[in-house]
Chain A
């Protein structure tokens, strides 16, 4: 087998990568392996052979994007078609501009469309409380569906308390500003 980079020397280094169940192989000669940084452990492949990206792009072509047309981000001016080519958005607002197209992509890549990790410290408490309310609301819906009214009442009280705390904080905040 010949080296897949220079095409001259015999391939003696065999690189295998498995991402999201997709296996890609690369066969290169020793010289290219060393020069391209495919040196054993310590080089990440310079030759981009796969990764979640390729996989992501695959799923993008099958989304609803054709129906939506070629939308453009109002903030940075990036067109959806450019995003499709590069797999990189241009700015934070692109996530809003390409929302419809991105949702199925995110779902496929991550299996979710909702963040559940940390938040910036400045807003951390606010986000955490809002997430807590959301969680309780879901539990409340479930409780009502299963006719567990005692639990439902308890959950409703908890939600009210949290909501009151949030608006209370806000009011105090504004009066201070005034």
Chain B
């Protein structure tokens, strides 16, 4: 399979913008936490015990079609830059990047399926899909989980379900999340209300937003919290309902904006697009807010902008470790800002 340098040339296929509702939902992620019955959990196990986990996971994964093509990366062999790169690609966690000594990453076909080995749990199976595809993601995760389960003995109790290192994951071990973009709700200042509503139904929201009315990267990650007492489908369906509802609110807010301030909005979008196309120095944060504005324009149905896939690509490829991987050397922030502008230029003018 490919090397990391090859990977750095394009984002994983799950960000290609082909999935349903791709303008509002960048991606869907489902992960399952699993542990092997006969070993202490990674935070407690001895190095020689943990060393036995990877071979059995790899052997089990080989029997799953999703891992017919497989890349195994050991944390001991990763440079700090490799780790940062894999974090930016959503394949390993920050915690794994910082603390893992005997961990590994098993990546399946096109990065949409992967297993993080020996993070805080022995296995963290991850499925990523483009757009809003919760049921597809959870079905695939369930299938691979069964395939792995055929050769592995999971720690499981009838009462508490899959046993995990942290009790916040015990039960299904399932965390599902959708990465959403809702600029109109931010612009019309309804976002606070919406966020409060989301948390009242047992979901969590994480994300960035700037102060004031400026649109600055209106991306939010909405995820489930409960893993005990709900089935996998129930957890995912409640997240799906909320995601659909947010999209409805967003559409209403967008209608109101178009009614009251159409020209002003379009002006903002086209200025952002112009800045992306012509700038020479582009800090990371500015890129995110400009990309958010252009994405907003695509959602509004404006013609002549670029497609969602390209916007996703810019978000991924412009991250620090991605920039350095592509250049194949360390780059200072100022150098990155120039190269970032070049990257954007190249992507937006190539059509």
Contact = CB atoms under 8 A, between A and B. Distances in A.
A116 B231 contact: yes
B309 interface: no
Contact of A20 (B43, B94, B159, B225): B225
Contacts of B171: 110, 115-117
A33 B120 CA distance: 25
Interface stretch (B102-110, B203-211, B254-262, B343-351): B203-211
B254 to A, nearest CB: 20
B163 A92 contact: yes
B170 A106 contact: yes
Interface stretch (A39-47, A61-69, A136-144, A148-156): A39-47
Interface string B143-169: 001100110001111111111011110
B174 interface: yes
Interface in A43-78: 43-46, 51-53, 56, 75-76, 78
Given A40-B219, A118-B232, A30 B166 contact: no
A34 B208 contact: no
B333 interface: yes
Contact of B285 (A12, A109, A130): A12
Contact of B40 (A76, A87, A102): A76
A6 to B, nearest CB: 13
Given A76-B40, A109-B168, A39 B284 contact: yes
A146 interface: no
A86 interface: yes
Contacts of B207: 15-16, 41
Contacts of B41: 88-92
Given A117-B171, A122-B149, A39 B320 contact: yes
A110 B204 contact: no
B271 interface: no
B120 to A, nearest CB: 6
Nearest to B233: A117
A129 to B, nearest CB: 12
Contacts of A45: 94, 206
Interface of B: 26, 35, 37, 39-41, 43-44, 84, 87-88, 90, 93-94, 98, 120, 142, 145-146, 149-150, 154-163, 165-168, 170-172, 174, 179, 195-196, 198-200, 202, 204-211, 217, 219, 221, 225-232, 283-285, 287-288, 315-316, 319-320, 333
Interface of A: 12-21, 30-31, 33-35, 37-46, 51-53, 56, 75-76, 78, 86-92, 95, 102, 105-106, 109-123, 127, 130
Instruction: Give me the 5 closest cross-chain CB pairs, A-B, nearest first.
Output: A112-B229, A115-B161, A40-B288, A90-B44, A110-B228
